[in-house]
Amino acid sequence: MNASEARDLTADELKDRLLQLKREQFNLRFQKASGQLEKTTRIGEVRKDIARIKTILGEKTRAN
């Protein structure tokens, strides 16, 4: 998800997406710890998506 796609979503949709990403991050960390993680770059991608969504949510709340 890039920033322009995220800005088109509503605040509720962004919160739902954030929750999904946090769950995915937890699962990725669990897989890494148990040695089952094959695509290690996904961890960084998820972290960046979480930061991007948090930034856009902050922008939306300050705009209101």
- CATH number of the domain bearing residue 24: 1.10.287.310
- pLDDT for 1: 81
Res 49 pLDDT > 90: yes
Residue 8 — φ and ψ, nearest 5°? Answer: -80, -15
Residues 13-47: tens digit of each pLDDT: 999 999 999 999 999 999 999 999 999 999 999 99
- Asked if residue 6 lies in contact with residue 14, where contact means CB atoms within 8 angstroms, the answer is yes
Distances (CA, A) of 36 to 2, 32, 39, 42: 28, 6, 9, 13
Q: What is the domain range of residue 37?
A: 3-63
- pLDDT for 56: 96
Strands (E), 6-51: none
Q: How far is CA 16 from the centre of its chain?
A: 10
Question: Residue type for 60, please?
Answer: K
The tally of domains found in the chain comes to 1
- pLDDT for 64: 82
